[in-house]
Amino acid sequence: MDLTLRVWRQKDRNSPGRLVEYDAKDIDPDMSFLEMLDVVNERLISREEHPIAFDHDCREGICGACSATINGIPHGPERATTVCQLHMRHFKDGDVLTIEPFRARAFPVIRDLMVDRSAFDRIVESGGYVSVRTGSAPEANTLPIPKDVAERAMDAASCIGCGACVAACKNASAMLFVAAKASQLNGLPQGKPEKDRRVLDMVASMDEAGFGNCTNQYECSAVCPKSISEDFIAQLNREYLVASIKQRFARK
Amino acid sequence: MKLDSKTPPGPLAEKWARYRSEIKLVNPANKRKYEIIVVGSGLGGAAAAATLGELGYGVKCFCYQDSPRRAHSIAAQGGINAAKNYQNDGDSVYRLFYDTIKGGDFRAREANVYRLAEVSAEIIDQCTAQGVPFAREYGGHLANRSFGGAQVSRTFYARGQTGQQLLLGAYSALCRQIDAGSVMMFPRTEMLDLVVVDGHAKGIVVRDMVNGKISSYAADAVVLATGGYANVYDLSTNARGCNVTAAYRAYKRGAFFANPCYTQIHPTCIPVSGEYQSKLTLMSESLRNDGRVWVPKRKGDTRPPHKIPEDERDYFLERKYPSYGNLAPRDISSRSAKEVCDDGRGVGPGGLGVYLDFSDAISRLGLETIRERYGNLFEMYERITGEDAYKTPMRIYPALHYTMGGLWVDYNLMSNLPGLHVIGEANFSDHGANRLGASALMQGLADGYFVLPYTIGAYLADLTHKRPSTGHPEFHKVETEVEERTKTLLAINGERSVQSIHKELGKLMWNDAGMARNRKGLKEAIAKIPEIREEFWDNVRVPGDGKEINQELEKAGRLADFLEFGELLCRDALDREESCGGHFREEYQTEEGEALRDDENFSYVSAWEYRGEAQEPVRHKEPLVYEEVKMATRSYK
C-alpha cells in the first residue's frame, strides 16, 4: 500500500520543529508500524537525508520505549497496543498519517519523535519503592497475601512507563502512571508502612515535574497499551487525602 | 597462561558459606572511598548497583536506554527458578544444581552453579519483600509452575511478565539508592571502551547519546552487566539495541571471551514475514503439547494448508522421533525444521516456516479447551500475523534468543583482567552449553543481589592500586581512540546503510553458525566475515554528525564490533569438535541425530585471548573438574 506520512522533525531540544511530508510507497501490510518507519528511514539514508529518530527497543510491547502519536492518538488507533505491535494492515492504501512525538510540558522533545521521559524516573525515585535492604527480607511465605490482592497489585504493576497516558491527557497529567505504581505497593502488606509518605512524595514530585492535574476524563486509560484502569486514580486520590490530613494533624 | 577459577576448597555444599566467612571485608567507613562503575541496568546491573549503593560504595550506573527500567530483562516471560520446595515435591538445592549442570550438558563450572542454586531461594524472599506481585494460590502462598528440564515444580512467575516484574523490583531498589544519593544514574549513555591502567580495569569511556559528548569515568572496579550477543545474528528475540560492544571492547583490552559458540535457539517463534523484519517474537513452547508440526511432502507446494490432503503432509517430528513426536527437545525440533526448509518444503513467505496445526486437538478437545489453554498466545499470534490460528495452522520457525557464552570470570565473577567484574548473561559461567528455562532471571539476580556485592568487596579489600583520575594519560589515549573511531565512521559516507550490512552478517551467521554447524561452513564464514567487515569500513553510510542524537552512528559502532565478534564465534565453533547443548556440529552426532559430546577431549571452557588485529586469537583452556557430579549423557528419553 502507499501512504503519505506527515512526520514531526526537530533537530534537538532547543530547535523549532515542523511537520514534513514523506511518501511511503509499497508498504507491506504485515509490517509493524516501526518496521514501516525503518523502511522509510532506509530510503531517506539512500537519498542522503537524515533518518527519522524514534525511541524503540524490545519491539514486543513490554519495554515501553516506543512512543509516537499517530493521527492524534498515542500509540495509534488499535486499543491496548504499543506502536511497535501495531501493524500496517490496520491502515489502508492512500491513508495520510500524522506522526508526532508524545506532547507534554514535562516530556520535552529531544529529536523528531523522541522525548525525555526522565520525569517518570524522578517520580519513582521519590517513593515508588519498598525500603528493603538486600538480604534482610523474611521468608517469602511467612506473609500470605490473598490472591485477589496480589492480582490487583499485578494489574497495577503491568504499567510499562511509556507515557501514553500523559500524551493523551489534555492536562498532560501523570496521574495514571503515579496511581498505578502507588496502588501496586500500597495495596500489598509489604508497602503499607510507607503508604502515606509514598503518595505525598510521589504526587509532590509529579507536580514539580510540571505534569497537569487530573480532571477525570480517563483518556489515559483509553490509550494505555496495558489497559491500566482509571480506578487506581480514585484510589490514589483517597490515599492522598487521608495522608495529607494525617500529615496536617501530625504537624499540629 | 593458566586460568585459575579460584574455586574455594572444601566440600561443594560448604564452599560459598566458608568463602563468605573467610573473605576480607571492607570497613564500612572505607566503603564510601571506593567508586564502582556498573554498566547495564537489567536484572544483574540494577540489582548490583542498588545493593552496592546500599552498602555505601559510590556507584555510577550506565545504560543506553532512556530509563534503566527498559533493559531487555523486561521481556522475559516464563518465570524464575528457586529451590524453595514449596510444592513438597522433593526439590532441593542439590536438585536445582544438578538439573542446571545436566541441562548445561556438563559444560558449566560446578562450584558456580551450586552457589547459584544456593542463593536462589533468597531471591524470591527479596523480590517478594520489594512488592513483586508473584502469582499466588488461594491460600495466599506463592504459586509455582513446571518448566522444561526439571521434574519438580519450582518456577515462580508473575503472569507472562515475570521478567518485567523482577526488573521493576530491581529498578525500584535502584531508584531508592539514586534518591539517597549513593548511585548516580546515566541513562542514554553508551559505554564505548574500557580503560585499563597498570593491568587493572579502572574506568570506561562513554558517549552521551543526546549531545554526542565522549567522556571518561574512573573507578576502583568496573562491573559489566551488558547482556548477551544474540544480535550478531541480526534477527533474534533480543531487543534491537542489545549489543556486544562493552564485552567485546573489554575483550580487546585483555579480558578473555569464553565459549562464544554456545548460543540457544528457541523452536517456537513467529517466522520472518519479509525482508523488512526487525525482530523475532517468541511464543511459549507449551504450544507443542497440542499442536502437530508438519510441512507438505512435495517441494514448492504452495497450496494453502487446508487444500493439502492428509497423505501429502509430512509430520516430520512424528515420523523421525516416534516416541517423542512433537515434543522432541528444543534443539532436535529446531534442527528438523531447518532441514525440511532447506529441502525446499518450508511454508509461508520466504519458505522459512513449518506449520503447527491445532485442528486435530480442536476436534478432539473442543475449541473452548484450546482457547483456555492458549488463548493469549493465539491472540499474540494474530496481532503479529493477522491470521486466526483456530482456523488455519500457525507458522513457526526457530530463532536465536539467548547466549550462554560470555566474558570469562572466576568464582569471584571477576575476569582475568583484575578489577573487571562481569555478571548476568554477559558472563559465561553458570549455564554451560545450554540454559534451562527460567534460569536466566535467577542468574541475573543471584549475581547482582547476592554474589557480586560480596566478591567485589574481596577485590577492593586487597586493592593496592590507587584509583587514577580521568586525567591519567591512559584515559586520554582511549578517549582519543574512541573519538577517532567515531570520526572514521562518520567520514566513510559510502553507499550502504548499517542495517543492510547487519542483515548480510546475520544471514551468514544464521546459515553457517546457527542451529547446525559444520567444518566447511564455519571455515567459509571465517573467510567471508572479513570481507563483509571490509565492505563496512569502505562503504557504509552514517549520516549526520557525532554531536547530536544519531541512531545510525550508534548502530554502526555496534555493528563494527559484531563484525569482529562473529568471526570469534565461528572460530570457537570450529575449534570445538563435539556437539554439546546449543552447539551442534553435524560431524559429531549419533546415528539417531543426537548430539555427541566428547568429554575426553573437550571437557573444558574455551577462553579466547585477543592478540591484536594482525594475529589470530589464542584459545586457553580451563579444565572442568567435577568433584561432586558424574558426567552423563544428556538424555530426556
- Determine how many CB atoms are found less than 10 A away from the CB of residue B308: 18
Q: Which of B95, B330, B335, B558 is catalytic?
A: B330
Q: Nearest CA of chain B to the CA of A124: how many Å?
A: 7
pLDDT for B220 equals 98
Name residue, grid cell 500496517: A88
- Determine how many CB atoms are found less than 10 A away from the CB of residue B156: 28
Q: Nearest CA of chain A to the CA of B549: how many Å?
A: 7
Interface test with A, best of B52, B69, B162 (most A CBs within 10 A): B69
Q: B239, A135: Cβ pair inside 8 Å?
A: no
| Average pLDDT of every residue of chain B | 95
Q: B278, A160: Cβ pair inside 8 Å?
A: no
Check whether residue B360 and residue B478 sit in a common domain: no
Check whether residue B356 and residue B234 sit in a common domain: no
Check whether residue A74 and residue A167 sit in a common domain: no
Check whether residue A66 and residue A42 sit in a common domain: yes
Check whether residue A124 and residue A80 sit in a common domain: no
Percent of chain B with pLDDT over 90: 86
Structural domain includes residue B367: yes
Structural domain includes residue B636: no
Check whether residue A172 and residue A225 sit in a common domain: yes
- Region of B116 please: left (phi>0), alpha (psi -120 to 50) or beta: alpha
Of the pLDDT bands very low, low, confident and very high (cuts 50, 70, 90), residue B14 is very high
Check whether residue A156 and residue A232 sit in a common domain: yes
* Nearest one of B143, B157, B172, B170 to B77, comparing CA atoms: B157
Give the range of the structural domain holding residue A234, as residue numbers without chain letter: 117-251
By the 8 A CB rule, do B276 and A31 touch?
Answer: yes
Residue B330 annotated to the active site = yes
Residue that finishes a domain, picked among A84, A111, A138:
A111
Q: B171, A145: Cβ pair inside 8 Å?
A: no
Check whether residue B396 and residue B406 sit in a common domain: no
Q: Is the ipTM of this complex over 0.90?
A: yes
Can you list the residues of chain A whose pLDDT is less than 50?
none
Q: Nearest CA of chain A to the CA of B474: how many Å?
A: 33
pLDDT for A252 equals 58
pLDDT exceeds 80 at position B557: yes
- The enclosing domain of A45 has a CATH number of 3.10.20.30
Check whether residue B158 and residue B199 sit in a common domain: yes
The DSSP bridge pattern shows strands B58-62 and B183-186 to be parallel
Q: B138, A147: Cβ pair inside 8 Å?
A: yes
Interface test with B, best of A47, A57, A159, A160 (most B CBs within 10 A): A57
**Identity of the highest mean pLDDT range in B329-343, B370-384, B454-468:** B454-468
Residue B517, φ and ψ in degrees, nearest 5: -125, 150
Check whether residue A91 and residue A20 sit in a common domain: yes
Structural domain includes residue B601: no
DSSP state of B186: E
Q: What are B510's strand-pairing partners?
A: none
Q: Nearest CA of chain A to the CA of B500: how many Å?
A: 9
Between B128 and B338, the higher pLDDT residue: B128
Q: A81, B383: Cβ pair inside 8 Å?
A: yes
Check whether residue B292 and residue B348 sit in a common domain: yes
pLDDT for B190 equals 98
Q: What is chain B's alpha carbon radius of gyration, rounded to the nearest angstrom?
A: 24
pLDDT for B635 equals 59
| Interatomic CA distance for residues A35 and B179, integer angstroms | 38
Check whether residue B419 and residue B358 sit in a common domain: no
Check whether residue B240 and residue B361 sit in a common domain: no
- The enclosing domain of B502 has a CATH number of 1.20.58.100
Name residue, grid cell 488499535: A78
Check whether residue B254 and residue B273 sit in a common domain: no
Give the range of the structural domain holding residue B486, as residue numbers without chain letter: 473-593
Of the pLDDT bands very low, low, confident and very high (cuts 50, 70, 90), residue B634 is low
* Nearest one of B219, B180, B173, B182 to B43, comparing CA atoms: B173
Check whether residue A105 and residue A217 sit in a common domain: no
Check whether residue A52 and residue A122 sit in a common domain: no
Q: A132, B126: Cβ pair inside 8 Å?
A: yes
pLDDT exceeds 90 at position B149: no
Of the pLDDT bands very low, low, confident and very high (cuts 50, 70, 90), residue B582 is very high
| Interatomic CA distance for residues B408 and B417, integer angstroms | 10
B277 Cα distance to chain centroid: 21
B621 Cα distance to chain centroid: 22
Residue that finishes a domain, picked among A90, A111, A132:
A111
Model confidence pLDDT, tens digit, residues B127-147? 999 999 999 999 999 999 887
Check whether residue B235 and residue B286 sit in a common domain: no
pLDDT exceeds 80 at position B200: yes
Separation of first and last alpha carbons in chain B = 41
Looking at the structure of chain B, the number of domains it has is 3
Check whether residue B150 and residue B116 sit in a common domain: yes
Structural domain includes residue B613: no
Q: B65, A63: Cβ pair inside 8 Å?
A: yes
Interface test with B, best of A62, A66, A133, A142 (most B CBs within 10 A): A62
| Interatomic CA distance for residues B373 and B377, integer angstroms | 9
- Please state the rounded mean pLDDT for residues B365-387: 90
Q: A63, B66: Cβ pair inside 8 Å?
A: no
Separation of first and last alpha carbons in chain A = 68
Check whether residue A125 and residue A81 sit in a common domain: no
Check whether residue B386 and residue B285 sit in a common domain: yes
Supply angle C-alpha B598, B603, B607, rounded to 5.
125
Among the partner residues A36, A58, A139, nearest to B74 by beta-carbon distance: A58
By the 8 A CB rule, do B76 and B163 touch?
Answer: yes
Structural domain includes residue B619: no
**Identity of the highest mean pLDDT range in B148-152, B542-546, B633-637:** B542-546
By the 8 A CB rule, do B252 and B567 touch?
Answer: no
In sequence order, what DSSP letters do the residues of B6-54 get, joined into one string? ---SS-GGGHHHHHHHHS----HHHHTT-EEEEE--SHHHHHHHHHHHH
Q: Nearest CA of chain A to the CA of B562: how many Å?
A: 18
Q: A111, B548: Cβ pair inside 8 Å?
A: yes
| Interatomic CA distance for residues B371 and B369, integer angstroms | 5
Looking at the structure of chain A, the number of domains it has is 2
In sequence order, what DSSP letters do the residues of B211-265 get, joined into one string? T--EEEEE-SEEEE-----GGGGSSSSS-TT--SHHHHHHHHTTPPEE-TT-EEE
Check whether residue A170 and residue A246 sit in a common domain: yes
Of the pLDDT bands very low, low, confident and very high (cuts 50, 70, 90), residue B632 is confident
Q: A125, B548: Cβ pair inside 8 Å?
A: no
- Determine how many CB atoms are found less than 10 A away from the CB of residue B179: 18
- The enclosing domain of A241 has a CATH number of 1.10.1060.10
Among the partner residues A12, A125, A138, nearest to B175 by beta-carbon distance: A125
Structural domain includes residue B228: yes
Among the partner residues B140, B239, B541, nearest to A145 by beta-carbon distance: B140
Q: B176, A131: Cβ pair inside 8 Å?
A: yes
Q: How many CB pairs under 8 A join A and B?
A: 214
**A-chain residue closest to B160, CA distance:** A158
Check whether residue A48 and residue A172 sit in a common domain: no
Structural domain includes residue B615: no
Which residues of chain A make contact with B54, given a CB cutoff of 8 A? 133-134
Among the partner residues A39, A118, A185, nearest to B187 by beta-carbon distance: A118
Structural domain includes residue B215: yes
pLDDT for B254 equals 98
| Interatomic CA distance for residues B66 and A67, integer angstroms | 12
Interface test with B, best of A129, A130, A155 (most B CBs within 10 A): A129
- The enclosing domain of B34 has a CATH number of 3.50.50.60
Check whether residue A127 and residue A246 sit in a common domain: yes
DSSP state of B303: S
Which residues of chain A make contact with B541, given a CB cutoff of 8 A? 45, 48
pLDDT for B465 equals 80
Check whether residue B349 and residue B421 sit in a common domain: no
List the grid coordinates of B472: 591519567
pLDDT exceeds 70 at position B201: yes
Q: Nearest CA of chain A to the CA of B172: how many Å?
A: 5
pLDDT for B455 equals 97
Among the partner residues A32, A63, A185, nearest to B74 by beta-carbon distance: A63
